[in-house]
Structure 1
Amino acid sequence: MSAQTTTTTTTTTSGGAGRRRPPLLRQYRRLMSQRSWAQLCRGIVLGAVTGSLWGLSLLALLPASVSLATGEPSWGLGLGGWLGVLGGCALTAAVTDFVAQRSGMMGALGFMADVHHAIGDRVATLPLSWFNAESAGTLSRAVSQEMVSLGESAAHFLHKVSSTVASCAVIWLGSWLWDWHLGVLLTCAVPLLVLFLRWSRRLVDRGKTVSEPTERELASRIVEFSRCQGALRSCHVGSGYPQLASAFDDAAAASHRALWWESAGTLLSGALVQAIVVAMITLSAALALGGDLEPLRAVVTIGLCLRFTTMLEDIGNTVNGIEERRQMMNHLSSVMDAQPLPEPQTSSLMGEPGAVELIDVTFGYEEGTTVLREVDLRVPARTMCAVVGPSGAGKTTIARLVARFYDVWSGQVRVGGADVRSLTTKDLMEQLSMVFQDVYLFDDTLAANVRVGDPDADQERLRWAADLAGVTEIVDRLPQGWDTRVGEGGRALSGGERQRVSIARALLKGAPIVLLDEATSALDAENEANVVAAMEELRRTSTLIVIAHKLETVAAADQVVVLGADGRVAQTGRHDDLVTLPGRYRDFWEARSRAQGWTLV
């Protein structure tokens, strides 16, 4: 890949407004396993069989009613024979309907399980540029409320549509055999109703388009409100968070507007169906009065027309129910359509294990805002590089680019001598351990959280890493020791304790390259010695890129890289050399040295 390759990733978590989506069934298929899809299809097919039997039952009522009125056989069977046909159809339909609904329900349950895996697998491949402030609430809603609603649609609505459509098709075909007048009436009714339903569906879809964005925003604000209670209460807005209140107001206003659109769609569908019913009854009565239709056949025709239009109305209501969920499916599809960073099938050869290099790197998180400019940096294997500079200079960005959380706009980032874009994600991650400021611990035991670094590590190696990182001291204090659960995100531990667990993970993994972002920033003086010891151990076996402000950490580095506020490398060299030269580093060192002597009086 060229060193000047520029990768721009534009993604969205919206419902995909303005973009034509594939048919709903195809969108279901892409999210389902083969087994779940087969069960769902079996339910739809058996639903059509059931509907066909229902249609045959209704058609059998026509000759049965003639036989009942005249006492003569009709279509070769008397009243008893037609009653037998009705009983056989009813019994068979009951059996097939049970099997169809059971199969459809199993497929829907499989869909809900498959969605978690499909969305989870996709999200795990997406670049960090895809995620934003709304992602947590959006994804939470996608795999909870939206997943259940779509599962309901798969279990009930699709089955009902297939069975009712099959019934209508059978009745329509049979009506021509019974009386051509009836066939003409039903044939004229179908395209009119399809047209009306299409208009109705568009109105319903417009309503969902209005309400969906505000509902997603509300979900994000609710997640934010629950996660940030500490910060909100410290600012006296724990119970009156204006952003949440505004999101509720916006969602309520949008829901009212959406209700008007959806109500208009429902009223349009219902009113026009009733108009078709009245027209069919009027035509049947006119034919009977004119002598073109026998009185008995006219009564039967009117009855069948009423039932046929009721079934068509059921189809309309069901289609509207499905349409209400289309925006939800489009939202899931937008996640599945989001493009991960391009990745090769096999990795290039890494000729310099442990080495890290940035060559003329320019990068920014948003178009038009550049964070790093023409950065050149080389860190030889098993050395320690400290990166310093003012806030916003791009220090953490360098670590993220090395881990390929993003692709550079121009230039190259090399790990082990190979461009990170020429390595598979698996191979790149095997080269790296990361200890960032925002440490996330899983809602599991303390031991399980440390073992994330190496799930196969034995107890002896686990204790070695814990001793070096200062985790043993945490274990000794906790009532259940290693088996203590740390809570979601590690909320049962302090920030410094979470940092030590993260460092223990890195020790346990033993990767050739370790990225540390303010690794000692949240630690008190008593436990900082443990972290320094851990870093010395990591330094013995790995390459360290450390983003730091503490003087002892910076002075111990083999190389110091100083970034300017403009995102360029201002100075590079050893501490002993840089501190004697006029420039940003000496200013930084002198300012930090003065700050070390500060005391609170």
Structure 2
Amino acid sequence: MTETMNSATPTTVNPTAVGARAGEHPDVSRSLMARYHRLMGPVAWRQVIGGMGIGVISGVFSGLALLFLLPASVALATGRNSWGLGFGGWLIVLAVLAVAAAVGDYFSQRIGMTGALGFQHDVHYAIGDQVARVPLSWFTADSAGVMSRAVSREMMSLSESAAHFLNSLSTTVAGCAVIWLGSWAWDWRLGLLLTCSAPLLAVFLRVSRHLIDRGKALSEPAERELAARIVEFARCQGALRSCHAGTDYRQLADAFDTVARTSRRGLWWESAGNLVNGVLVQTIIVAMITLSAALAVSGALEPMQAVVTIGICLRFTTMLESIGTTTAGIEERRQMMDHLDTGMDVAPLPEPSAAAAEPEPGAVELDDVHFSYLPGAPVLRGASLHVPARSMCAVVGPSGSGKTTIARLVARFWDVDAGSVRVGGTDVRDMPVADLMSRLSMVFQDVYLFDDTLEANIRIGNPGADSARVRWAADLAGVTEIVDRLPDGWDTRVGEGGQALSGGERQRVSIARALLKQAPIVLLDEATSALDAENEAHIVAAMQELRRNSTLLVIAHKLETIAAADQVIVLNEVGQVAQRGSHADLVDTPGPYRDFWNYRSRAAGWRLV
């Protein structure tokens, strides 16, 4: 168990199992065991199967112990041997079986729990690998919420199923099978009754499963919506309070009401499923007791045998009830497994296995690119541009013209609908994703910092960099000034998302990352649009340093940044390149760029009196 959880190297999850179904929708009819298998590495899977196998052996011992109570009772009542042994011999057999069953159950639970812990370990790595490969277009508020629940609360429930339910089911089914087979050897009428109960059990369990699934399907969407609204309510308190809705958020109240209604409806369906199990068990109990009593009255069974037979029948029915309860518990987790399948079945971005040649290292090019986020709503229409290596290109245009989209397509967050995007002269679709990312640094307007120290957040840009290089990047980006005024200096934690820093300070850290990485291409999206003069000065200085060795593709509104570019690309409202050229050429040419420049220049000259 310790080895499984403390291993520093991730367990290799079966890539064929994970990838073979990429792009398919989750299939709820797929065997639950097969769905566990696809998410687990070989070590954890062997432990789960091994625990179930030992559980089967333990169940066989328990079933034999119950079955052998029949001949033991005959030997006790008559004083003669029954099935070749006297009462003393049967006591020894029962004691041995009890010890064997207890030992088997211990090892079954222990190994099964180890496999369940391994399942958690493997699934986290499997999901992490998948998240890093799927297109960013898949990530929405709903999908992020589903995956967040899947790797937290629902992961524990699925692990519980692997650790306890599967073992319990295998043990109980094995015990029931032994009693069923032995009942034929004891009395054919008892064997016939148990045989008839088996298909009845299967039918009732299937109906029960259907009812439980129906109840879960009713309540699950409303619960997801409620979770999203709660997060929204917590994160947007500033906006809500400014609108006098800090304590009376109608959408959240509606979500609670919807959950209450759907939960009641779902509870009726789930209760019906559990009732079906209860009816089955009680029916079999009554039938067994009736048969045993009839055999005793007719003289076919001695009084002691009748009592033991009724006891065994009661125990057998409790085992059937356990099977029903365990099956219901497993079915409740099938919905949770569907959530995992939702993420694991997303087709990853296709990529080649080997790196392609780069005829023009450091260059960026878009060739007749068409792209839309939603069908029928194009963002770029035939956009083309070429940024030579170690030059700076500024992209300007009205809001919604596709400026940020160009940067995202260069980073291959999405694939184009038509045309091509080339980095280093090679289509990004012909480059392994890791190879493409090694050539890019990205500084976007919304900077995310990890809940770690300032130094660790900068070092992400180049984990192998020495301390002197980290300090150099921090000095140039102005992060050192932040460090000097913080109580813990470099060891100050910035909080989740960097909430301990201002927006401008987070931008400085992001620029320091790019400086440390020294990628041949740097994408800057509105990096200085909302900064004060001090932060802007640091970032402009860092951009000048980046420009010495890297190609800069800058989406900007600041006049100084645009004027410093070697090339300016002007997009119009429909996502087409309206103009291109140097600032000096464009500002003297009638067109949208000169209009833009004159408007911004007049706005920059406004003063409050």
- Superposed displacement of residue 565, structure 1: 0.7
Give 1:169-208 correspondences, 5 Å limit: 169-208=177-216
Distance 1:113 1:236 in 2: 45
Matched, 1:92 2:100: yes
Instruction: Give the letter for the 1:525 counterpart.
Output: A
Aligned to 1:7: none
Cα deviation for residue 197 of structure 1 reads 1.0
Matched, 1:162 2:170: yes
User: 1:3 aligns to what?
Assistant: none
User: C-alpha displacement at 1:29, in angstroms?
Assistant: 1.7
Aligned-pair distance for 1:523?
A: 1.9
Task: Kindly state the Cα deviation for residue 114 of structure 1 after the two structures are TM-superposed.
Answer: 2.2
Q: Does the CA-based 8 Å contact 2:63-2:175 persist in structure 1? A: yes
Give me the TM-score of the superposition, normalised by structure 2.
0.93
Asked if residue 224 in structure 1 is aligned to residue 232 in structure 2, the reply is yes
The residue that corresponds to 1:457 in the other structure is: 465
Q: Distance in 2 between matches of 1:469 and 1:243?
A: 42
Residues in 2 aligned to 1:247 and 1:234: alpha-carbon distance in whole angstroms: 22
Alignment partner, residue 217 of structure 2: 209
Write the letter of the residue equivalent to 1:171. I
1:320 equivalenced with 2:328 (yes/no): yes
CA distance in 1, matches of 2:571, 2:305: 92
The answer to whether 1:423 aligns with 2:442 is no
Matched, 1:376 2:377: no
- How far residue 91 of structure 1 moved from its aligned partner, in angstroms, is 1.1
The corresponding residue for 2:442 is: 434
The match for 1:8 is none
Distance 1:15 1:142 in 2: 19
Pairwise CA distance, 1:353: 0.3
What are the Cα deviations for residues 225-246 of structure 1, in whole angstroms up to 9, with x where unaligned?
3333333333333333333322
Q: Give the equivalent residue in structure 2 for 1:499.
A: 507
Report the secondary structure of 2:493's partner residue.
Answer: coil
State the one-letter code of the partner of 1:99: F
1:519 is matched with 527
**For 1:522, what is the secondary structure of its paired residue?**
coil
| Structure 1 residue 235 corresponds to structure 2 residue 226 | no
- 1:9 alignment partner in structure 2: none
Once the two structures are TM-superposed, the CA of residue 381 in structure 1 deviates from its matched residue by: 0.7
Whether the aligned pair in 1 keeps the contact of 2:24 and 2:346 (CA below 8 Å) is: no
Deviates further, 220-229 or 507-516: 220-229
Q: Deviations over 1:119-156 (max 9, x none)?
A: 12211111110101223322221111100111111111
Give the one of 404, 409, 416 matched to 1:401.
Answer: 409
CA-CA distance at 1:572 after TM superposition: 0.9
Partner of 2:549: 541
Tell whether 2:55 aligns with 1:47: yes
- SS of the equivalent of 1:350 reads coil
Moved more, 401-410 or 204-213: 204-213
| Amino acid paired to 1:44 | M
CA distance in structure 1 between the partners assigned to 2:146 and 2:472 by the alignment: 41
Greater shift in the superposed pair: 305-314 or 199-208:
305-314
Match of residue 346, structure 1, among 350, 354, 358:
354
1:412 match: secondary structure: strand
Alpha-carbon separation, structure 2, partners of 1:321 and 1:231: 42
The secondary structure found in structure 2 opposite 1:134 is: helix
Q: Secondary structure at the match of 1:365?
A: strand
How far apart are 1:288 and its partner, in Å?
A: 4.8
Is the deviation greater in 252-261 or in 304-313? 304-313
Work out the CA distance in 2 between the residues paired with 1:554 and 1:143: 44
Contact 1:186 1:305 (C-alpha < 8 Å) held by counterparts: no
Question: Which residue in the other structure is 1:5 paired with?
Answer: none
Instruction: Give the SS at the match of 1:83.
Output: helix
- The unaligned stretches of length 5 or more in structure 1 are 1-12
What is the distance in 2 between the residues matched to 1:20 and 1:193?
A: 21
Alignment partner of 2:262 out of 251, 254, 265: 254
Matched, 1:73 2:81: yes
Confirm whether residue 109 of structure 1 aligns to residue 120 of structure 2. Answer: no
Which of 516, 526, 550 pairs up with 1:508?
Answer: 516
Cα distance in 1 between the residues matched to 2:165 and 2:384 = 59
Structure 2 equivalent of residue 390 of structure 1: 398
Instruction: Give secondary structure in 2 for the equivalent of 1:364.
Output: strand
- CA deviation vs aligned residue, 1:242-266 (integer Å, no higher than 9, x gap): 3332222222222111101000001
- Which whole-Å deviations, capped at 9, do the CAs of 1:535-580 have from their partners, x for residues lacking one? 1111111111000011111111111111111111111111111112
Q: 1:15 to 1:160 in 2, by over 3 A?
A: farther
Distance in 2 between the 1:545 and 1:491 partners?
Answer: 28
The 1:14/1:139 distance shift into structure 2, 3 A limit, reads farther
CA distance in 2, matches of 1:14, 1:307: 47
Identical amino acids, percent of aligned pairs = 70
State the Cα distance separating 1:294 from its structure 2 match: 6.0
Q: Is the 8 A contact 1:15 1:327 kept in 2?
A: no
Distance 2:200 2:91 in 1: 34
Report the equivalent of 2:15: none
1:149 aligns with 2:157: yes
1-structure distance, mates of 2:29, 2:412 = 31
- Equivalent residue of 1:346, what SS? coil
Partner of residue 140, structure 2:
132
8 Å contact kept, 1:387–1:560 = yes
Unpaired runs of 5+ residues, structure 2, are 1-21
Q: Give the partner amino acid of 2:194.
A: L
Contact 1:16 1:331 in 2 (8 A): no
Q: Secondary structure at the match of 2:362?
A: coil
One-letter amino acid of the structure 2 residue matched with residue 254 of structure 1: T
In 1, distance between residues paired with 2:607 and 2:79? 111
Query: Which deviations, in whole Å up to 9, do the C-alpha atoms of 1:503-557 show, x marking residues without a partner?
Result: 1111111111000001112321123222111111111111110000111111111
Say whether the 8 Å CA contact 2:24–2:345 is kept in structure 1. Answer: no
Deviations 1:291-332 (A, max 9, x none): 666665554443333322221121011100110110001111
- Cα shift readout 1:146-195 (whole Å, capped 9, x = no counterpart): 00111111111111100000000111111111111111111111111111
1:448 to 448, 456, 460: 456
Q: Under a length normalisation based on structure 1, what TM-score does the superposition of the two structures give?
A: 0.94
1:290 Cα deviation from its structure 2 partner: 5.2
What residue in structure 2 maps to residue 490 of structure 1? 498
